[in-house]
Amino acid sequence: MEFQERLDGIWERISDPEFLANRGVANEVRYYIFDYDPHNELIVREHIKSLKKKNNPDADGFEIVEYDLYNMIIEILQQRGYIDKCIQFEKTKGRKYMFNAVSKMLRITSDNNFIIKNIVDKTPDNAVVFLTGVGKAFPMIRSHNILNNLNQVLDKVPVIMFYPGTWDGQVLSLFGTIKDDNYYRAFPLI
């Protein structure tokens, strides 16, 4: 299926009552991935904007709630007063050190992950969650960490990760070149 056809199919898919019921054959929670060529990032962003604009929660029975992972990182750093420290870390200790410091501060690998907590706390019951900004957030956040941790605590609504890279049903490859860990609990959105 061509990229534009896949994009055009998103609205029909997310507005389907079966999709909104958010349960699979074995009553498992459904997480979805919409993978795409990273060169199409700006097209995907614009399409997401148009989907959100089209969405009328009262009439549609669901609200599209977008969480841009990169923007969430910046928000949390600003709230905690860490932006200037991050700039200093990058200048004095290098980018890799700064990325590791941010990951630790966000508690990415712990049960008390700030990104996951924000998503769970802010997601209404009638939502369809869009996770975006995956490429911008790398390497501070790895997509498999978000999906694994979120899958354990958010089971009331469908979650779609918009992924600039490839996903073959098991392996996530950011930008088509950086192998992330395996993630096999998700389904293709289209």
Share of the chain above pLDDT 70, in %: 92
Q: Counting beta carbons within 10 angstroms of the beta carbon of residue 117, is it exposed (0 to 12), middle (13 to 18) or buried (19 or more)?
A: middle
- Taken in order 28, 44, 7, 20, the sign of the CA dihedral is positive
pLDDT digits (tens, 9 = 90+) for 23-38: 655 556 688 999 999 9
Residue 179, pLDDT above cutoff 80: no
* Two tokens, residue 73: 């990182």
Residue 66, pLDDT above cutoff 90: yes
* 3-class SS of residue 11: helix
pLDDT digits (tens, 9 = 90+) for 5-61: 999 999 999 999 888 886 655 556 688 999 999 999 999 999 999 999 999 999 999
Confidence of residue 178 (pLDDT cuts 50, 70, 90): low
Phi-psi region of 69 (alpha: psi -120 to 50; beta: other; left: phi over 0): alpha
What pLDDT does residue 42 have? 96
Quick one: which of 156, 150, 146, 176 has its CA closest to 39? 176
* Two tokens, residue 162: 């918009």
What pLDDT does residue 187 have? 86
Number of domains present in the structure of the chain: 1
The reply to whether omega before 188 is within 30° of 0 (cis) is no
What pLDDT does residue 132 have? 97
Full residue range of the structural domain in which residue 84 is found: 3-188
